[in-house]
């Protein structure tokens, strides 16, 4: 059960980085140029999170559904993520950032899987900010996976009925890919779209939402500060009466 006390600073900020393609098209550029510029916004938001003392920053970088995009765009995104992870390593170490990637990692190209494993290992002792990239992730995939793991654990317990009768919400959370990570307090989606697009369906149950019009490549320090200010003005009631 979460506290109903108003907390001005979010512990976990999550961002659905949207609008890269439109940013590029509005400028007569190829869609992939928007993805490239979007990496600079990732850096800006990460550094500002460190300055603000935010504990968790998570970014929706590639959804399960995004595999359905044209092959060239998917290939470009995979290669851009590989390069960006390698490039950011020095920054992560300097800023005390722990890097994690969550999702169906087995579906990613081998070199990307290797760079993720290396970055996770190298940054595992960093404590200032946990930076999470959701890759080949979807909320339904996560919940279905958790249900499968739970069914397996119930079977292996030898007494499934008794095992399942004791499972509470917090236990189910422990089967999700985000086990041990606090639920997002604030979910930002750029580009003016106001939908969840199969993101953190369970974990976002009580998140505050913020939908700036700006496209992701234009979401920088000032936009982020504005989002944090809006969050601070929200009244979180968790279904109760104040
Ligand atoms: C977000 O920008 C990046 C990913 C989903 C990988 P988009 O590529 O969705 O950009 P728009 O929404 O088409 O403008
Ligand atoms: C959501 O954006 C996924 C990511 C940002 C990774 P999309 O652009 O894929 O979502 P839809 O298609 O507009 O719902
Ligand atoms: Mg989009």
Residues of the chain with pLDDT under 50: 1-6
pLDDT for the residue numbered 2: 47
Query: 4-137+183-233 in CATH: which number?
Result: 3.40.1180.10
Check pocket membership of 198 for ligand 2, CB cut-off 6 A.
no
pLDDT for the residue numbered 242: 84
- Residue 171 among the catalytic residues: no
pLDDT for the residue numbered 7: 57
pLDDT for the residue numbered 4: 45
Q: Which atom of ligand 2 is nearest to the CA of 197?
A: 14
User: Which ligand has the shortest distance to the CA of 136?
Assistant: 2
Burial of 121 (0-12, 13-18, 19+ CB in 10 A): exposed
pLDDT for the residue numbered 6: 46
Q: Could you state, in order of their start, the residue ranges of all structural domains in the chain?
A: 4-137+183-233, 140-181
Helices assigned H by DSSP within the chain: 20-26, 31-52, 71-95, 110-122, 139-156, 160-165, 169-173, 221-232
Pocket test for ligand 2, best of 197, 199, 200, 204 (most atoms within 8 A of CB): 197
Which candidate, 232, 176, 237, 179, places its Cα nearest to that of 201?
A: 176
CA distance 9 to 64: 31
DSSP 128: S
CA distances (Å), 117 to each of 100, 121, 162, 186, in order? Answer: 9, 6, 38, 27
User: Which ligand has the shortest distance to the CA of 65?
Assistant: 2
- Residue 18 among the catalytic residues: yes
Crossing angle between the packed helical segments 31-52 and 221-232, to the nearest 10 degrees: 50
pLDDT for the residue numbered 110: 98
pLDDT for the residue numbered 209: 98
Q: Which of 20, 66, 198, 218 is catalytic?
A: 66
Check pocket membership of 66 for ligand 2, CB cut-off 6 A.
yes
């Amino acid at each position: 059960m979460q506290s109903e006390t108003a907390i001005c600073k979010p512990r976990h900020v999550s961002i659905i980085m949207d609008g890269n393609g439109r940013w590029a098209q509005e400028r007569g550029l190829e869609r992939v140029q928007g993805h490239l510029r979007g990496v600079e916004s990732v850096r800006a938001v990460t550094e500002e999170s460190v300055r603000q003392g935010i504990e968790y920053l998570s970014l929706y970088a590639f959804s399960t559904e995004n595999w359905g995009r044209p092959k060239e765009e998917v290939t470009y995104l995979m290669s851009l993520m590989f390069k960006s992870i390698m490039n950011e390593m020095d920054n992560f170490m300097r800023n005390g950032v722990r890097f994690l990637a969550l999702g169906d990692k087995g579906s990613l190209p081998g070199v990307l899987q290797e760079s993720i494993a290396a970055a996770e290992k190298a940054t595992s002792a960093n404590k200032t900010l946990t930076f999470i990239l959701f890759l080949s992730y979807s909320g339904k995939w996560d919940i279905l996976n958790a249900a499968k793991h739970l069914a397996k654990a119930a079977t292996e317990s030898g007494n499934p009925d008794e095992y399942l009768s004791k499972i509470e919400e917090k236990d189910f959370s422990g089967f999700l890919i985000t086990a041990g990570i606090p639920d997002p307090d604030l979910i930002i989606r750029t580009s003016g779209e106001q939908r969840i697009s199969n993101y953190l369906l369970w974990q976002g149950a009580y998140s505050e939402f913020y939908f700036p019009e700006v496209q992701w490549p234009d979401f920088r320090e000032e936009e982020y500060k504005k989002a944090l200010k809006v969050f601070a003005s929200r009244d979180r009631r968790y279904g109760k009466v104040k």
